[in-house]
Structure 1
Amino acid sequence: MAVDQTVSYQSTDPAAELRVGDQLIEDVRTALSGSLNLRRTALRLLTMIRPRLADWGMVVLPGDRPGSLTLVGGDDAGFHAVISTAAIADHELSRLLRTGGTELRHVMMDADAEVDLGGMIPHPRLAAEAATMRPADLLAVGLTARGATIGALVMIRSEGRGFDARDVTVAERVATSAALALDSARLYEERGRIASVLQSSLRPPTLPDVDGARLAARYRPAAEHLDVGGDFYDVHGRGDDWLLTIGDVSGKGVEAAALTGRTRQSIRTACHFDRRPEIVLGALNTVLFDEHTKDFVTVVCARMRRDADGRFVVDVAAAGHPPPIVLRRDGRVETVGVSGTAVGMVARVEYRPATVALESGDTMLMFTDGVDEATGPDGMYGVDRLLALLPRYAGADPEVLCEAIEQDVLEYLDGRQHDDIALLAVTCGD
């Protein structure tokens, strides 16, 4: 493809610019408004400009990963390709993406058409398609929105139908309208990806395998369309030394979920250095108090270590949280005698642990106040109701126990709104 002229156009007659292509520009603006899917918005733009403005088109967009671009266009509406910005560093397209300008090429076809078109159409399939159009003109316009060039619109008109100055003006106005819609869709998707990553990091973790014990958990956020809330549980450790935690953030919504994430990370960091529950809670209290957060967190920490006889010796400390309940294999229930100030409220707190032993078949249950404070027709569900329920599940698998408690609480609620609900149970024995 021999290039006989490259022209950078500026606006010509302002009055003519306002009149020419007004209908197309308005159609594009209307069609793209409210679209929040980036690739779909680009495809809609290409549909709108063909054939009124161009015979063939391609949109260059930011890729999902840093240093990448997405190419959308061609004859197949479902086609898109991802390329590296490094791969086009020496291409004309790279210069256009830096400057955000407009380039018009009057061309003549020869045997190297596909190679030459690659400077603006850096994908072999798309370049081959463009070459079959026997292009007379190639027009590329930067897509600039909010002061930044986010991509480019590349168009081709076939032999005998070139772009004149008026067409270039229309194309620039179309690009201006489209760029804002494309950038809005880009920002929406980018924020969605960020939210998804953050939400994934806040979701309840997968429980590890612990030799000599079985673990189970249940989690039901108050906002059931979300996967995260203000309650949390976690299990850290290795070998025969594990730290189990469960807690509840006082706030609600996104702010509570963010504090939940910081709390879990602080606990994870602290237990790398010392797994004693009273030390972990003390470190967490210092971190949250120093943040001057308006919310507080209630937590129970239980350090579980296996002895030579296969039992688990459990050291428990609590910070303003309901204490764990031990369900013995024979059906007896015991509440672990621990209490303490919620973390983040005062500068210095001394947490006092208690120790219990779990024999084979014994289960320790940890829960949040979404269980005992669940409000039904007769008031709160209450700890006494929970203590009465547990004996019938003595010796059962912890998964069965957690499921039964959750179901009993939901039945008691009878469709009423509830707080976040979290349960964590550990049973001694494989």
Structure 2
Amino acid sequence: MDESEAFDLKNLIASLRSTPLCLFASSRTGRNSAYINILPYIKRTLDLGPFNPEETHTLLRHYGISNGHDITTQVHESTYGSPLILSSVIPELMHYLLSIRQGNKNFQKNLQSKVNSMITAVSAELLWHLTPDEIRWTRRLALLGEIFSVEAAEALLPNSTDILTLLKAKGVIVDGVHFIEPLWGTTTADTPLRFCHTFVHQQLLQNIDFADIPVLSLIESEGAFYSITAMKAIAKADWSEASPALTSKVFQWLHSKVLIVSNLSPILAMSFNPLFYAFHDRYAEQWQSEEKLRNNVKVLDMKVCHYDVVEDSENYSIAIEELRRITRNPRNATEAALRAGALGATFNSRYPWKPQLLEIIAEGTRLVEHFPEIRATEEFTHVVFTVPTTLRSQPHPSISPCAPPPLPYSLHQLPATPPPYLPLLTPLP
């Protein structure tokens, strides 16, 4: 029910006050102000929502599909329990028992195709009243996630306040939920916004044209982000026509955000890691040698932590050896600092004691002797503050003569510049 329909309904109710007539109307709550205007005339309200898994199974049992069939779970997950979608695929479900008796192995694939086509149809129905420009704006917003902040939207939309007001009036976006914490970005008192339906958001994501997206504005935005939708979409996009400078900026943004997400939700981060690795592999050859080396170290460092968490000792060892290989024999202080950072990554492990530890300590000592200026680098700080802490948590008698002294700083109070000494990488006795 849109604004004009609600206005007509209000006038009709007023003209039929003395007539014993029952009227039924449906509307998405919060979709427009007209819904609020007709509230005084409503005698009873039924709040409709998706089925839960048990209700979906009950419906399917009514049509002869028992809980014992795996298809019931697949149907609920694919349709999100939407009664509209379920009613559209029920004819396919009725055909299920006959299909499995006939050995139709493609049934589940065909069913998923049917569900997808219905989702597309529902989404098209909810978006038919938008102009081409409004469709373009909603596709930009879809990149931010199903829930998004006003500040993040400002980075993607011209005159964002007017556009958001218009899209809210047309029912495409609605007020989101309160008290939800973002993954990153600045929070404000404004309530986050969200798309009116999950299906709408999914449909818009399938048709994003990155040539129309102000990517630099997006990655430089300080607005709050509530999902990794933007990270996934940007990592999957084709940047082959982009400049090396832009792909490098995108890589740095993806790297910084996946580190933040890793601290909040390691499982969520690991679902994104393969996309991040693939992005790096596609565009690494474009970058200058020093930048390429630095980014390689970042990716391998992430792989070390990733394989450590999932306890994949084989790939963990491969990543460690690759770190050592690409940073061997540094030619300048920058490469030496990266080498030091790679050494620090070696210690990010929960596995038993590593035999090569003393060799790594000696190698780090030689780096400092030849390139003393690496003490002022970020990569060197990684070794200074990470490695000694790891050593204290994994004591071993063979290094007791050169065990590092206690650090003068806690890990939560790092100084602006590293201290003028290296507690770990001291000469071996």
Q: TM-score, normalised by structure 2?
A: 0.27
Q: Which structure has more RCO (C-alpha within 8 Å, separation ≥ 6)?
A: 1
Greater helix content: 2
Q: Which has the higher strand share?
A: 1
Query: Which protein shows a greater Rg?
Result: 1
Instruction: Give the TM-score normalised by structure 1.
Output: 0.27
